[in-house]
Each structure stands twice: as C-alpha cells, then as structure tokens.
Amino acid sequence: MTKIGLEIHCQLTNLESKLFCPCKANYREYEPNTNICPICIGLPGSLPRLNQKAIEKASMIAMALNCSTPEKIAFFRKNYFYPDLPKNFQITQLNIYGDTSIGGLGYTMVGEKKIRITRVQLEEDPGRLIYEGSSSKNQTTLVDYNRAGTPLVEIVTEPDFENPKQVREFLNILSDLLQNLGVSDPSLEGAMRADANVSIEGGNKVEIKNIGSFHDLEKAIHFEITRQESLYSRNIPIVQETRHWDDRRKITISARSKEEELDYRYFLEGDIPWIRIDKDTQERLQKEMPESISSKKDRYVSKYGIPAQVADVLSSDKFYSDLFEQSHNEKNAKEIANIITTDLMGLVDTREKREQSKFTSKHLEELADAIQSGKITRNSAKNALYEIVKTGKDLTQIIAELDLGNVSDESEIEKIINEVISQEPQAVEQAKKNPQTINYLVGKVMQKTKGKADPKLTLDLLKNKIK
C-alpha cells in the first residue's frame, strides 16, 4: 500500500506584524529589503519579541485540527547556515522535552478517511533568494529579507494518504479551514507550501522537498510513486533519502549527499521564555474561534432548508459564507443562498474580480426581497446583479435605468398574450391538446417583455385564454 505524509507550511498572512518584530507580516508589496529591522535581520544585540496574536492564531489552527494543546509551549533553535536565514538558525518548535509544540496529536476527516495530524508548530519563514548570472561560474545570489521572520505554521501529518487525490482533497479542506479561521489567505503567492514523504509497499520512505505549488505537489507525488514502483518491479531497493523536486524537468532528484551533513543541533531558545496558555486562555480562544465549516453547513441545512449541496458550497468558502451571514434573515435565506451560488459565484470567480466588484451584502438583501415580493423576476435579478457588481448602484436605480421591473399589470400582459396567440396558432392548438406545451407560449410572452412579465400571472392568464 502506498503511504503519503505531508508537511504543510502555512503563513499567517492576516497578521499585522512578523513573528518576532513589528515589521509587516504581508511582505509582498515591498521593494527588496525595505520591510526589515534589526530583529528580523538578526543584527547583533537584537532579541526576538514574540507576537501574541501569532500564538493565538496558531493555537486556533491546532484546535480546528482537533489537536491536543499543551498548557506551556517552548521555542527551539534549528541551526544551519543558509543565506536566507539572517541568524543562521531558525526559531521553531519541537517536542523533545515533552509536548511543547502549539499543537499535539490531532486529526481531520477527508470524506470518510481520517488523516492523523502529528503536530502543529509555529516558526519563522526565511528570506528569499534570487539567483543572478547565467553560468555557474558568474552566478551570485541576491537576498531579500522582507519575508524573513514571517509567522509560519507547520502542520505535519502521519503517512495516512493513499493517493494524490486524497492529498488534494485534504489540501482543499485545509485551505478552506485556514481561510474560515481568518488566519490566512491561501490564494496569496507562497502562502501555503508543502513537502511530502512517499513510500510504497516494501520500500523505504522518501522525502520530497522544494515543491513550489500544490499543483506540482500532486505531480511530484505521482512521479515519485511511479519511480518507486518501477524500481520495485525491477528488484532495485528503494533507499531512504531526501529528493528535491526539479520544477523545470518535473522530476525528483536525489539530494542525499547534501542532507547527510546536516546536524541541526536543536536546543531551547533562551531568548523566549516558555509561554503559558492556561485552560482559561484556551477556552477564550475556543470561544473566539469562528464557527467551523461543517457546523455552518449543518445550520444552513437544518435551519433554512437549504439543499445540502448548496450549503456545502456556501459554507466552505469564507468570502461567500460571510456574505451570506451578513445579508440573510429567516425569510430570505434560501433565496440569498440561491443568488450567491447560482449567479454571484460565476460573476466574481477570481480574487481580482472580487476586489474590483462593488456589491455589498445590502444589495443581496434587496435583491432577494425584490424577487420574493415579485418586484422583479429571477431572470431580471441576474441582470441586475451583473450591473450591481459592475457599478455598485442602488437596486431601485438599476431597475429603473434598465427597465427591469416586473410587468404585473393584467391588461398589459393580456395585450401581449393576445399578440402571441394570433402569431402562434399552431402552438395554441397543441397546447389545447397537451397542456404541458403551454410553456412554449409563456416563453414567447417572456421574450416580448424581456423577461419581465410575472411568470405565474402569465401562465394563469394563458391557461384561461386557451381553455
């Protein structure tokens, strides 16, 4: 059986400041080395100043993954030399003196499959390296420390995945979970990264590092399984090693000789006392945690009778579920869920579109009311929504400007029905024989009114006419 385990690194992008200094946590908009200070650059004499909220958010992640949460957490130094590491050690967490990582054993469900979490730890992200020069001879390395010290949560799983598909599903669930907790925006470049370890039946564990995206992660796992199976079938032993993902050639390459030298000399970080997170604090954090995705989904189904599939889509995306929470009431909930999932999602399906769009939860509320009170048809509502997203104008204004209001004046509809009946004698005859086909005539009336005729009224009037 194939066994896959993951180490996922997730930046706490929604924090204001870095893990140990007040520089900006979201480093993305800065010119190189302009989001740095003596602490994150590791100048002599500087000391780490731990960010309280980073601990709270990391602890919430641990709780959401059903992990045990110790009452005291500790930080350690992982020592190795690399130019992106200003102090040449990384402040991280470990469980060598008891359970002192922010999260201990836990699990999360992927469908029916239980994925066990080994631990959750809080650590600092290194800076970024940029390679310059074409040949190996004239190559130099440029370093940008803007990212150095960004709060990073590492989630380590047991090797419980059996195939890349489960991995993908898990990562989707995790990504939604992090977003729902309000700790991270996984869509930001580099906000979520993962390493994997893969072993097949009868073989040793192989670690794959250096994987740039989740898309490549799946490819790397696929490649690795195929490579190992091929070795196995030819009776070549699969050695335990670390391999690097080659992004260009889309293969994994042995990095063994390099890794062998590494001896991280882990020991306690004396500049940070152990942090007490007592039971009261843990309860407070638990209370402050946003409602979980599954709890939201259950509530949507049981309280408002929203279909399970719709509730699922709605609850798992924080952007849409927040919108739903802000705009719905007992009466319009179903309608709002419907507008969001059938119309809005198509209109603002990318981050850019969301950011540019001008609609508010108030718009949704008004739109649902207008539909429910028969002011406009669903069809017109869709057109109105398009305008709202584009312009942010008031619904009443849009209805007036685009003439989207329902035609519910009986005499007016009757006039149009008469026109249709005279133009479509064949269809009228057919409808008399087979009442099902009357919808064709309703459609014609709608066409003539640009979808604004009250559909129920139109049907009733038509039925009366051609009885």
Partner 1 sequence: MSLRISALEYVQEVQNGNISAEDYVSKTIEQINNVDENLHAFLQINSEAIDNARQIDKKIKSGKNVGACFGMPISIKDNICIKDSKTTCASNMLENFIAPYDATVISKLKQQDAIFVGKTNLDEFAMGLTTEFSAFGPSRNPWNLDYVPGGSSGGSAVSVSAFECLASLGSDTGGSVRNPASFCGVVGFKPTYGLISRFGLISYANSIEQIGPIARTVKDTAFILNMIAGLDPNDNTTIDNSNQDYLLGIDSGIEGKKIGIIKEMIGEGIDSAVMSATKNAISKFQGLGAVCEEVSLDMVKYSVAAYYTITATEAGSNLARYDNLRYGYDFPVEGYEFNSYISKARRKFGPEVTRRMILGGFVPSSGHAGKYFLKALKVKQKLTQEIDQLFKKYDFLIAPTVPVLPFKIGEKIDDPVALFLVDINTVTANLTGKPAISVPFEISNGLPIGIQIFANSNDDKSLLQAARALESTVKLPEVPI
Partner 2 sequence: MVNEQEIEIVAKLMKIEIDDHKEYIDKVHAMIDYFDILDNAGVQDEEISMKDIPLSNLREDKHIPYEDKLIERLNNYKGTYVRAPKMI
- Which residues of this chain interact with partner 1, rule CB under 8 A? 38, 41-50, 77, 79, 81, 83, 86-89, 140-141, 143, 263-268, 270-273
Contact assessment for residue 188 and residue 49, using Cβ atoms and an 8 Å cutoff? no
CB of 155 to partner 2, least distance (A): 21
- Determine the Cα angle at 352 with ends 169 and 362, to 5°: 95
Could you tell me the smallest distance in angstroms from the CB atom of residue 69 to partner 2? Answer: 12
> What gap in Å lies between CA 156 and CA 228, rounded to an integer?
23
Q: How far is the CB of 259 from partner 1 (least distance, A)?
A: 13
Q: Which does 32 bind (CB under 5 to 8 A by kind): partner 1, partner 2, none?
A: partner 2
For partner 2, the closer CB: 98 or 212: 98
24 binds, among partner 1, partner 2, none (CB under 5 to 8 A by kind): partner 2
Smaller CB separation from partner 1, 38 or 305? 38
Element (H, E) at 245: strand 241-246
Cβ-in-10-Å burial (0-12, 13-18, 19+) of 390 comes to: middle
**Number of neighbouring beta carbons within 10 Å of residue 384:** 23
Residue 274 beta carbon to partner 2: minimum distance, rounded to whole angstroms:
4
Looking at residue 292, the DSSP 8-state letter turns out to be P
| Residue span 261-290 as binding mask against partner 2, x where in contact by CB under 8 A, dash where not | x-x----x-x--xxxxxx--x---------
Tokens of 98: 């008891």
Our CB check for partner 1 shows the closer of 271 and 312 to be 271
3-state secondary structure of 29: coil
Rounded to a whole number of angstroms, the minimum distance from the CB of residue 306 to partner 2 is 36
What is the closest distance, in whole angstroms, from the C-beta atom of residue 122 to partner 1 in the complex?
15
Q: Which amino acid is at 300?
A: Y
- Pick one of partner 2, partner 1, none as the site partner of residue 72 (Cβ within 5 to 8 A by kind): partner 2
Q: Does residue 389 bind partner 2 (CB under 8 A)?
A: no
Q: Give which of 142, 151, 181, 178 is closest to 23, Cα–Cα.
A: 151
Output the smallest distance, CB 85 to partner 2, in A. 11
Among 4, 36, 60, 67, binds partner 2 (CB under 8 A): 36
* Total residues found in the chain within this entry: 467
Which of partner 1, partner 2, none interacts with 439 (beta carbon under 5 to 8 A by kind)?
Answer: none
Cα three-residue angle 190-195-200, rounded to 5 degrees: 150
**Least distance from C-beta 117 to partner 2, angstroms?**
22
Nearest to partner 1 of 43, 109 (CB atom): 43
Is the CB of 44 or the CB of 425 nearer to partner 1? 44
Give 161's DSSP letter: B
Dist CA 176 CA 169 (whole Å): 11
253 lies in the binding site for partner 2 (CB under 8 A): no
Q: How many C-alpha atoms does 132 have within 13 Å on its Cβ side?
A: 7
Q: Shortest distance, CB of residue 143 to partner 2, whole angstroms?
A: 4
d(CA 267, CA 215): 35
When binding is defined by CB under 8 A, the residue of 28, 47, 83, 331 that contacts partner 2 is 83
Helix (H) or strand (E) holding 78: strand 76-79
Question: In this chain, which of 29, 112, 136, 352 binds partner 2, going by CB under 8 A?
Answer: 136
The residue whose two tokens read 């051609």 is: 466
Q: Are 277 and 68 in contact (CB under 8 A)?
A: no
| CA distances to 81, 327, 405, 465 from 462, in Å | 82, 37, 21, 5
Q: Which residues lie near partner 2 (CB under 8 A)?
A: 15-17, 22-25, 31-38, 41, 49-56, 72, 74, 81, 83, 97-98, 129-131, 133, 136, 139-145, 261, 263, 268, 270, 273-278, 281
